[in-house]
Amino acid sequence: MDTAGKNELTDQACVPPLAEELVEQAQAAARMQTAEYAPGEREELIDQIKSLLQKQDAVLVAHYYTSADLQKLAEETGGFVADSLEMARFGNEHPAQTLIVAGVRFMGETAKILNPEKRVLMPDPMATCSLDVECPEDSFSKFCDAYPDHTVVVYANTSVEVKARSDWVVTSGIALPIVEYLAEKGKKILWAPDKHLGSYVQKSTGVEMLIWPGSCIVHERFKADSIKKLKLKYPGAMVLVHPESPAEVIATADVVGSTTALINASKMMDAQKFIVATEPGIFYKMQQESPGKIFLEAPTGGVSATCESCMRCPWMAMNGLRNLKDVLESGGNEILVDEAVRRKALIPLQRMMDFAKKRDVVMKGEGNA
């Protein structure tokens, strides 16, 4: 079924504008964590963190989009580097009673949803996500109430309250089969919050959906024309694109996929050069898996391929060695979730995980942004 003219990026959804002040605050906080180290400071911080993790019976789980320092530290201390769902699942299986989540707030909340008996701490719980901010629970609930005959499918990049209002939670790695499954059951689908991922799912499946018009501030900025020009400069380079990107950017891709799908593609493909349209924190794992290959930042804003302020998520950059040490020393920044809300949010999360097992969909690493 061709739904090109039927997709509704509905105007009825009350999406708050992302305040520039919020982004500026995140950038300021990130600069504090990425400021140049004094001689010996970095090494001292790493040694202190390793000691504190052991003393606190804590394990560090870090997202692919955090700094190379944090990803390497997680690996060296028996922690884990992955997407948000796998971070939470690892925490559930690990015996440590304290989970340190280096990422953004919804990731800490997901860890708490799946691990209510454990203490979940974050270096900075104010680290959020534009998709989360642009989909507040009150407005979203009103939107859902306007379409009571629709099945509510939300992306993992949402608050615990929005998850609690949903029927299904999905990651980018399992969104397509779940939407196809629901369509086969005759379900009408309401999708939130990423309009680009929603449109990609709709185009790929042919399933008509109501789509909440949110977007990721990083993926929104990639420009198709500039990617094409960069590819002319590097003949033979493969273009890897996350589906949170605009449709015209996706159209330039040789591979479209979740964070881990892109990492796997860069490892398995014969190409030696890759233009990567997602957060550059992913380069640490790509270079680790394929040290002989060259990875290029996809251009943003039509300017160049080296605009770190555009490419990097300011909230992911709020995680650093300095505030990681601080939270281990203080025990602060604990993620707490209302138990009634947690139980509701667990239902759609568990539904996704059960679906994955039943359909033999490999969920490990097939995650979100």
Per-residue tokens: 369: 């942004």
CA dihedral 357, 255, 3, 185 (to 10 degrees): -10
Q: In what order do the strands lie in the sheet with 255-256?
A: 255-256, 238-241, 273-277, 294-297
- The pLDDT-based confidence of 364 (bands split at 50, 70, 90) is very low
Say if residue 191 is exposed, middle or buried (CB neighbours under 10 Å; 0-12, 13-18, 19+): buried
Specify whether 259 is located in the same domain as 225. yes
Give the contacts of 37 (CB within 8 A, at least 6 positions apart). 45
Model pLDDT for residues 299-327, shown as the tens digit of each residue: 986 444 444 445 789 999 999 999 999 99
Q: Which pLDDT score is estimated for 5?
A: 36
- Alpha-carbon gap, residue 285 to 287, rounded angstroms: 5
Does a structural domain hold residue 250? yes
Q: How confident is the model at residue 22 (pLDDT cuts 50, 70, 90)?
A: confident
Which pLDDT tens digit goes with each residue over 90-102? 988 999 999 999 9
Average pLDDT, the chain: 90
Same domain, 40 and 70: yes
Tell me how far apart the alpha carbons of residues 356 and 47 are, in angstroms, rounded to a whole number. Answer: 39
Q: How many domains does the chain have?
A: 3
Tokens 């930042």 label which residue? Answer: 297
Q: For residue 297, is it within any domain?
A: yes
| pTM of the full structure | 0.90
- Residue linked to tokens 């024309």: 225
Residue 188 in any domain: the answer is: yes
Tens of pLDDT, residues 128-166: 999 999 999 999 999 999 999 999 999 999 999 999 999
Q: Are residues 307 and 330 in the same domain?
A: no
Q: Are residues 203 and 179 in the same domain?
A: yes
pLDDT recorded at residue 23 = 86
What 231-236 contacts at long range (C-beta under 8 Å, 24+ apart), as own/partner pairs, is 231/275, 234/273, 234/275, 234/296, 236/271, 236/272, 236/273
Give the range of the structural domain holding residue 251, as residue numbers without chain letter.
Answer: 219-311
pLDDT band at 362 (very low <50, low <70, confident <90, very high): very low
Task: For residue 366, tell me if it sits in a domain.
Answer: no
Same domain for 96 and 166? no
- The conformation of residue 194, written as its DSSP 8-state character, comes to B
Same domain? 103 vs 140: no
pLDDT digits (tens, 9 = 90+) for 245-255: 999 999 999 99
- Do 71 and 122 lie in one domain? The reply is yes
Query: In the β-sheet with 80-82, what is the strand arrangement from edge to edge?
Result: 80-82, 58-63, 98-102, 119-121
Q: What is the distance between the alpha carbons of residues 164 and 149, in angstroms, rounded to a whole number?
A: 17
Q: Is position 365 within any domain?
A: no
| 2: in domain | no
Task: State whether 186 and 251 are in the same domain.
Answer: no
Euclidean distance between CA atoms 317 and 147, whole angstroms: 37
CA 345 vs CA 12, 108, 208, 236: distances in Å: 24, 14, 25, 45
Both 124 and 41 in a single domain? yes
Picking from 311, 331, 350, the residue at the C-terminal end of a domain is: 311
- 202 close to 3: Cβ distance less than 8 angstroms: yes
| Phi, then psi, of 232 in degrees rounded to 5 | -65, -35
- In this structure, the answer to whether residues 261 and 118 fall within a common structural domain is no
Q: Is 304 part of any domain?
A: yes
Q: What is the CATH number of the domain that holds 328?
A: 3.40.50.10800
Tell me which residue has tokens 């790929």: 204
pLDDT score recorded for residue 104: 97
Give the ranges where the chain is alpha helix by DSSP (H): 20-34, 41-55, 68-76, 84-93, 105-114, 130-133, 137-145, 160-164, 175-184, 195-205, 224-233, 247-250, 259-268, 283-289, 308-311, 321-330, 339-358
Q: Is residue 96 domain-shared with residue 164, that is, in the same domain? A: no
Same domain as 280, residue 182: no
Looking at the domain assignment, is residue 3 inside a domain? no
